Amino acid sequence: MRVLFVGDIYGEEGVSFLKENIEEIKKKYKINLVVANAENACNGYGITTKIYKDLMKMGVCAITMGNHAFSNKEIDTLLAENANIVVPINFPTYAKNGYLKVKYNDKTLMVINALGRVYMNMALDCPLRMVKEIIEKEKADYYLVDFHAEATSEKKALGYYLDGINGAVVGTHTHIPTADETVLDNGTLYITDVGMTGPYDGVIGVEKEIVLETFLTGRKQKHIVAKGRRQLNAVMLDFDNKKIERINIKEN
Ligand SMILES: [Fe+2]
Ligand SMILES: [Fe+2]
């Protein structure tokens, strides 16, 4: 099974750039299933029903979220209607929405989303234990864990903790791709951060002037999605042949 995992889709720029590139990527990498993180799809804050439908039309079969899971209220309706969305499993009271099984022919892929706790400043349950418990409880042929976390150490630690599962642990949230894609000792595919899909000329998705102003004055400014060139960051995960490959595309 070959899965494309797309890193944090940020704003309309991210949605449109994915749409323009996805068919070619699917063909080139012989993709069976597409999973995408869309926690920033609505102007940086959460997801809407419209964006959800747009992504489904592109052939995305499951959407993962992160610390911005609940930034847009429409997520409540989507979850109530059993949309193919997972929110971090360790959000207190949202454990049942933290994983999802997707069928491909006679195989099942389980997609799990969890949030890191280091530098996150949120009330969260233990991501390591919760992810491991659900994997031990729910059987699937393949597992894909999107660990949405700030600290590289926490992500690598979860990778080793889960090493041996038939599938992958991929990191998201920092919006900057790392170059450490690897196959862990017991065969699990791993990367610390996939990177983001959205504006290229900005500070992790936001207009650079706004972020500079925040750092220079100490006053928080309203975020606006950066204009200009766009980028797409993803990974191709070949679970059967134990291969992970980075896909980094940017506009000239
Ligand atoms: Fe993000
Ligand atoms: Fe995030």
- 252 residues of the chain, pLDDT tens digit each: 999 999 999 999 999 999 999 999 999 999 999 999 999 999 999 999 999 999 999 999 999 999 999 999 999 999 999 999 999 999 999 999 999 999 999 999 999 999 999 999 999 999 999 999 999 999 999 999 999 999 999 999 999 999 999 999 999 999 999 999 999 999 999 999 999 999 999 999 999 999 999 999 999 889 999 999 999 999 999 999 999 999 999 999
Protein residues placing their CB within 5 Å of the ion ligand 2:
66-67, 173
Q: How many CA atoms lie within 13 A of 160 on its CB side?
A: 5
Tell me the CA–centroid distance for residue 200 and ligand 1, in Å.
14
Tell me the CA–centroid distance for residue 38 and ligand 1, in Å.
8
Query: Which amino acid would we find at residue 56?
Result: M
Tell me the CA–centroid distance for residue 106 and ligand 1, in Å.
33
Query: Nearest ligand, CA of residue 196?
Result: 1
pLDDT at 221: 87
Tell me the CA–centroid distance for residue 116 and ligand 2, in Å.
10
pLDDT at 88: 98
Tell me the CA–centroid distance for residue 197 and ligand 1, in Å.
9
Query: Nearest ligand, CA of residue 11?
Result: 1
Q: Are 193 and 159 in contact (CB under 8 A)?
A: no
Please, is 125 exposed, middle or buried when counting C-beta atoms within 10 Å of its C-beta (0-12, 13-18, 19+)?
Answer: middle
Question: For tokens 């500070």, what's the residue?
Answer: 203
Tell me the CA–centroid distance for residue 66 and ligand 2, in Å.
5
Query: Nearest ligand, CA of residue 41?
Result: 1
Tell me the CA–centroid distance for residue 16 and ligand 2, in Å.
20
CA distances from 23 to 5, 32, 237 (A): 14, 12, 17
CA distances from 71 to 41, 52, 65 (A): 11, 15, 10
Give the other-Cβ count within 10 Å of 57's Cβ: 9
Whole-number Å distance between alpha carbons of 50 and 56? 10
- The SS3 call for residue 225 is strand
Which entry of 68, 148, 173, 223 is annotated as an active-site residue? 68
Whole-number Å distance between alpha carbons of 182 and 47? 30
Query: Nearest ligand, CA of residue 42?
Result: 1
- First and final CA of the chain: distance in angstroms? 32
Told to judge if 68 belongs to the known catalytic residues of this protein, a careful annotator would answer yes
Whole-number Å distance between alpha carbons of 172 and 169? 10
Residues 6+ apart with CB under 8 A from 116: 127, 147, 148, 149, 150, 151, 154, 155, 173
Closest CA to 95 of 60, 58, 134, 122: 134
Would you state the structure tokens that stand for residue 226, as one six-digit string?
A: 């950066």
Whole-number Å distance between alpha carbons of 10 and 205? 6
- Strands across the sheet containing 142-148: 99-104, 107-115, 142-148, 167-172, 189-191, 182-183
